[in-house]
A and B are shown apart, each in its own frame.
Chain A
Amino acid sequence: MIHTRGLTRVFSLKKKQTVEAVRGIDLDVEPGQLVAFLGPNGAGKSTTLRMLTTLLPPTSGTATVAGRDVARDPAGVRARIGYVGQRNSAGENFRVGDELVTQGRCYGLTSAEARRRAGEMLELLDLGPLAARKPGTLSGGQRRRLDIALGLVHRPGLLFLDEPSTGLDPKSRAEIWSHILRLRETYGTTLFLTTHYLEEADSMAERVIIIDDGRIIAVGTAEQLKNDLAGDRVTLTTHTAQDAGRAAALLGGAAEGVTVRLRAASATAALPEHLRTLEAAGVKVATAETVRPTLDDVFLTLTGRSLSDDDLPA
């Protein structure tokens, strides 16, 4: 559904300076997948998305989206994809229903068909009673549902969503997600989304692509990435700092006071082994805890930085 080779975008600033926002990205997304595109602010997420949706011409490299080349046939790409941007898709001066009808017409539907689809979308996203209202009178969650409705009017096979749940309260976020997932079940839409909610990428996406500084640094299922790149965290406490030191030396961890921290590919398998080793050495363990890694741990392992520190909404 999406194939890019060496996709690059350079922005020129004043005084002949240039910034390479995206540096030679190779991406492959198969039909029907739900892919989360993850990375800190300024990593090149939005620039990549803007190139894939024909909003921005690439400086070099190629991208085929829904079977069409973004540079050679942008109109062909546009006809086959849907896009839900970070900001509000509906114009402030227009009624919700009118904007949906306009959107259908933008995709070349006849007036009657555009009206029918608009009604369908209002129904699908629980916006029915709001058709005659203007976007300014809607709640944040309702506006976001309207954005998604506008992205779906022409039933695209591939939908791009840029931070679909940012700035929403937990209830609205859950609602948006239930709509997104239902949509996938109904239409089999391929979904490519950026998010900075790590737990969303973790629980919803079948594939996670991590981008940093314009380069893709990891691709895989959340489970694979966590197992391969981060490993589980094991935390033990002892009664004395001396015991903690010995435990850290024996197991290859790091001691801090009476706490010992270490990593293991599979904590559930490693922990009994560790406890036997420590007992044989005469080290008394007070508590033992294991934690599954998060995608943030993956990012930390890869870059030495934490994603959650700087990835606040722009």
Chain B
Amino acid sequence: MTTFLRDTVTVFRREFTPAWREPVGLMFEMGQPLLFLFLFGALLDGAVGASWQWFVPGILVMMCLTGPMAAGYYVLMELVGGSMERMMVTPLNRTAMLVGRTMKEMAVLFAQAVLIIVLALPLGFELHWTGVVAGLALLIVFGVGLGALSFVLAVKSAPDGTLFYTVTQVLLFPMLLLSGVLLPLDSGPDWLRVAGGLNPITYIVDAERALFSGQVLGLPVLYGAATAVAVAALGLFLGNRTLRRGV
């Protein structure tokens, strides 16, 4: 366990150092969700009567999807380049390789979340401490699973990466829309709601919205937590298996 933690820190520090040395890229990463929040959020506010309580967690889930996917892209680059192979020959803990990378994305997500919440407060966002902390914890579990899945996808797509780009482009966007991250599904036709019900991201989004409204105990949170844990377990299982079989 101690080597796992040490190795996770090693991987995290490696991934985080370039962002630390050149924070400009980090600032751009922050910029996009802010644009969404203010331009799209302002629009929604009038259109469907959705509150900031509804919109802020949606944005966070969306960022939680894009971060780990970006991590997969870097894995692909490192697989093609040879640096992944070099790390694979070191005794570095394999799970730490998966978790450390996602933790970097989660650190960015955390900073983004704080920024968004601080900026949304004057607009009428109510802060429920317990809910927000639990919500972020849930996103971290979910993100670790997604990061690991993205890692597996990158390994399977190497060296040309076609599979990776196809899945992330073709699959991710519909899944994002079908989860009701940006627009509520309630007003949509039946087939859309059924499709949404089959989408695991929907449960995460619902749980986050409940938590950000201060409803810590309840079915949406339970379903969301179960989904996040399932995704994390599946991701880590497949990720470890992929690493064991050799890349």
A residues whose Cβ falls under 8 Å from a Cβ of B: 50, 53-57, 75, 78-79, 81-83, 85-95, 98-99, 102-103, 105-108, 147, 150-151
- Smallest Cβ-Cβ distance to B77: which chain A residue: A92
Q: Which of B9-17, B133-141, B188-196, B200-208 contacts A (4 or more CB under 8 A)?
A: B9-17
**Which residues of B line the A interface, CB within 8 A?**
3, 6-7, 10, 13-14, 17-18, 21, 74, 77-78, 81-83, 85-92, 244-247
User: Complex: how many Å from CA A93 to CA B81?
Assistant: 11
Asked if A91 and B91 sit within 8 Å, CB to CB, the answer is no
Does the CB pair B246–A57 fall under 8 Å?
Answer: yes
Determine if B85 and A55 form an interchain contact, defined as CB atoms under 8 angstroms apart.
yes
Complex Cα distance, B124 from A212, in Å, reads 73
B18 CB contacts on chain A under 8 angstroms: 93-95, 98
- 29 A–B pairs (Cβ distance < 8 Å), ordered by A: A54-B89, A55-B85, A56-B246, A57-B245, A57-B246, A75-B91, A81-B89, A82-B89, A85-B86, A86-B82, A89-B85, A89-B86, A90-B86, A91-B77, A91-B78, A91-B83, A92-B77, A93-B18, A95-B18, A95-B21, A102-B10, A102-B14, A103-B90, A105-B13, A106-B87, A106-B90, A106-B92, A107-B90, A108-B91
Which B residues touch A105, using CB under 8 A? 10, 13
Chain A residues in 8 Å Cβ range of B85: 55, 83, 85, 87, 89
Closest A residue, CB atoms, query B88: A55
Given A56-B246, A98-B14, A106-B81 contact (CB < 8 Å): no
Q: Provide the bound-state CA to CA distance between A55 and B84, in Å.
A: 11
**Across-interface contacts of B247 in A (CB, < 8 A):** 55
| Given A57-B245, A81-B89: A87 touches B81 (CB 8 Å cut-off) | yes
**B89 contacts which chain A residues (CB < 8 A)?**
53-55, 78, 81-83, 85
Chain B positions within 8 Å of A57 at CB level: 244-246
What's the minimum C-beta distance from B98 to chain A, rounded to whole angstroms?
15
Task: Report the nearest A residue to B84, measured CB to CB.
Answer: A91
Q: Is the CB of A106 within 8 A of B10?
A: yes
Query: How many angstroms from the CA of A192 to the CA of B203 in the assembled complex?
Result: 53
* A-B pairs with lowest CB-CB distance, top 9: A87-B82, A106-B90, A89-B86, A91-B83, A83-B89, A78-B91, A105-B10, A56-B246, A102-B14
In Å, the complex CA distance between A96 and B183 comes to 45
| B244 neighbours in A (Cβ, 8 Å) | 57
Q: How far is the CB of A107 from chain B (nearest CB, A)?
A: 6
- Are A107 and B91 touching (Cβ within 8 A)? yes
Beyond A78-B91, A106-B7, is A85–B77 a contact (Cβ under 8 Å)?
A: no
Residues of chain A with a CB closer than 8 A to B83's CB: 88-92, 99
Q: Check if A92 sits within 8 Å of B88, measured CB to CB.
A: no
**A50: which B residues are within 8 A, CB to CB?**
246
How far is it, in angstroms, between the C-alpha of A232 and the C-alpha of B17 when the chains are bound?
58
Chain B nearest CB, measured from A45 CB (Å) = 15
Report chain B residues within 8 Å CB of A56.
246
**Chain A nearest CB, measured from B156 CB (Å):** 15
Q: How far is the CA of A48 from the CA of B82 in the complex (A)?
A: 18
B14:A89 contact, CB within 8 angstroms: no
Q: Give the shortest distance, in Å, between B28 (CB) and chain A (any CB).
A: 15
A85 & B82 in contact (Cβ 8 Å cutoff): yes
Q: Compute how far the CA of A134 lies from the CA of B88 in the bound complex, rounded to whole angstroms.
A: 21
- Complex: how many Å from CA A92 to CA B77? 9
Contact indicator B7/A94 (Cβ below 8 Å): no
Min Cβ gap B26→A in Å is 13
Which of B6, B7, B10, B90 contacts A78 (CB under 8 A)? B90
Q: Across the interface, do B92 and A91 meet the contact criterion of CB distance under 8 Å?
A: no
Known: A56-B246, A91-B78. Contact between A108 and B6, CB under 8 A? yes
B86/A79 in contact, CB under 8 A:
no
Distance (Å) between the CB of B12 and the closest chain A CB?
11
Q: In the assembly, what is the distance between CA of A233 and CA of B57, in Å? A: 80
CB atoms of B245 and A106 under 8 A apart: no
Query: Which residue from chain A places its CB closest to the CB of B80 in the assembled complex?
Result: A87
Extra inter-chain contacts (10) besides given A95-B17, A99-B83, CB under 8 Å: A75-B91, A85-B82, A87-B81, A90-B83, A91-B78, A93-B18, A98-B14, A103-B90, A106-B90, A107-B91
> Which residues of A lie under 8 Å from residue B88 when comparing CB positions?
55
Query: In whole Å, how far is B228's beta carbon from the nearest beta carbon of chain A?
Result: 29
Q: How far is the CA of A78 from the CA of B90 in the complex (A)?
A: 5
CB of B86 within 8 A of CB of A83, answer yes
Residue of B nearest to A55 (CB): B246
Contact residues in B for A89 (Cβ distance below 8 Å): 82-83, 85-86
Closest B residue by C-beta to A94: B18
Which of A83, A92, A108 is within 8 Å of B81, CB to CB? Answer: A92
Query: How far is the CB of B78 from the nearest CB of chain A, in Å?
Result: 6
CB pair A94 B81 closer than 8 Å: no
C-alpha gap A103/B88 in the complex (Å): 11
